[in-house]
């Protein structure tokens, strides 16, 4: 390994006491490849195994915590004890490759397709549709339902512990339910769950508190709890960086292991809510990095990209699409063969890359999402 890449392979110890073997994280990515009954499929098991040998931590695609939280077809579930055996297989297979296994848990809220939830009725903080194309108006959750979903996050965490995962990540990003409660666009409630920015924090913090309580009661070994968030929203009104500062300050005081930004480009800057011209990741790191580890992500494809990202002083770097295109990303850097990292794929690469059929179809039929090239142009 070349000396300039050595910092990528330093150990990182999180607040819980869990130590990661390096700074590289396999980012959570939707693969729509679970069995139709919500169990873990053999295809997705092999997909994870192929990509778990190098990263210090592997974060799975999101599992839904209650039946009305399912976000898309062919998604796996953690809403019942019957799913524990399949989840145990997933955790074990990842860990056997040397990575810590983190189960991402979520509720789709108003972004859940009507066809995938009970009574064809998506729910949210308020009866306000997303601005995404084809969005439907959700039903506003009642008080008792809110409490049940919070408990659902706790029960999902208990199942993750029983299944042998090393931790859970709360999916509070990308417009899903946890973010919907924090957002002034989707949450226009006038009770204890909405109104001021502090009241809109009530649901996310209640989820964190419930999970921390379950971990204290059930985990016999140190157990990781992370939180992923989108620092801004495009909607008006929408989450601004100023409001995100309130969020991360509150989360940093909860004893979490990490905060994981969800941005498309690592060095992207704020749209509104701050005059700071630095990247959003740098701002968050400076603000709370002394209390909680920060994970940066977005457009990191090469070893040089990763080393540059470390100049933001963050301890952890998540890599997504590059791991799909190059499953041996980490191993090639360790072996001093970083110039052999593949950055494009062809339509003949599915079997070699161990990519499940549903994900592969999405890749090849979504122009611009992945760098798909002709064989002669491959690099």
Identified catalytic residue from 64, 176, 227, 258: 176
- Concatenated DSSP letters for 275-306? ---SBHHHHHHHHHTTTSEEEEESS--SHHHH
Nearest CA-CA partner of 225 in 15, 1, 58: 15
Distances 320 to 265, 275, 314, 326, 329 between C-alpha atoms, Å: 12, 30, 17, 10, 11
CA 373 from centroid of its chain's CA atoms? 28
Nearest CA-CA partner of 138 in 152, 120, 150: 120
Strands 123-124 and 139-140: parallel
Q: Which residues contact 369 (CB under 8 A, 6 or more apart)?
A: 362, 363
Rg (CA), the chain: 20
Q: How many CB atoms lie within 10 A of CB 332?
A: 19
- Angle at the Cα of 152 from the Cα atoms of 149 and 156, rounded to 5 degrees: 150
The verdict on whether 176 is a catalytic residue reads yes
Q: What are phi and psi of 220, to 5 degrees?
A: -90, -15
CA dist., res. 52 & res. 25, Å (int): 10
Peptide bond into 237 cis (omega under 30): yes
Residues assigned a catalytic role: 176
């Amino acid at each position: 390994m070349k000396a300039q890449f050595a910092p990528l392979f330093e150990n990182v110890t999180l607040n819980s006491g869990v130590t990661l073997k390096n700074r590289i994280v396999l980012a959570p990515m939707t693969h729509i490849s679970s069995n139709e009954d919500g169990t873990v499929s053999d295809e997705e098991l092999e997909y994870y195994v192929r990509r778990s040998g190098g990263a210090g931590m592997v974060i799975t695609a999101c599992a839904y915590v209650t039946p009305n939280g399912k976000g898309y077809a062919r998604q796996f579930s953690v809403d019942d004890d019957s799913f524990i055996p399949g989840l145990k297989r997933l955790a074990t297979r990842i860990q056997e490759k040397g990575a810590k296994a983190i189960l991402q848990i979520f509720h789709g809220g108003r972004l859940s397709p009507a066809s995938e939830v009970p009574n064809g009725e998506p729910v949210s903080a308020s009866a306000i549709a997303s601005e995404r194309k084809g969005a439907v108006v959700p039903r506003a959750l009642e008080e008792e339902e809110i409490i049940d979903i919070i408990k659902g996050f706790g029960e999902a965490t208990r199942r993750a512990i029983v299944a042998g995962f090393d931790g859970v990540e709360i999916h509070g990003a990308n417009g899903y339910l946890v973010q919907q409660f924090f957002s002034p666009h989707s949450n226009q409630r006038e009770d204890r769950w909405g109104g001021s920015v502090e009241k809109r924090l009530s649901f996310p913090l209640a989820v964190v508190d419930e999970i921390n309580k379950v971990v204290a009661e059930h985990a016999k070994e140190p157990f990781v709890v992370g939180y992923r968030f989108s620092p801004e929203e495009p909607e008006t009104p929408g989450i601004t960086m100023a409001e995100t500062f309130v969020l991360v300050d509150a989360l940093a005081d909860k004893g979490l292991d990490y905060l994981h930004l969800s941005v498309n480009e690592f060095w992207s800057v704020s749209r509104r809510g701050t005059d700071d011209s630095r990247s959003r990741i740098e701002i968050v790191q400076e603000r709370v990095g002394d209390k909680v580890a920060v994970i940066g992500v977005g457009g990191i494809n090469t070893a040089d990209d990763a080393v540059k990202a470390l100049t933001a002083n963050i301890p952890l770097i998540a890599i997504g699409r590059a791991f799909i295109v190059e499953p041996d990303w980490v191993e090639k850097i360790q072996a001093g063969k970083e110039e052999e990292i593949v950055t494009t794929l062809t339509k003949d690469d599915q079997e070699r890359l161990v990519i499940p059929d549903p994900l592969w179809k999405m890749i090849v039929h979504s122009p611009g999402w992945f760098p798909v090239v002709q064989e002669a142009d491959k690099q």
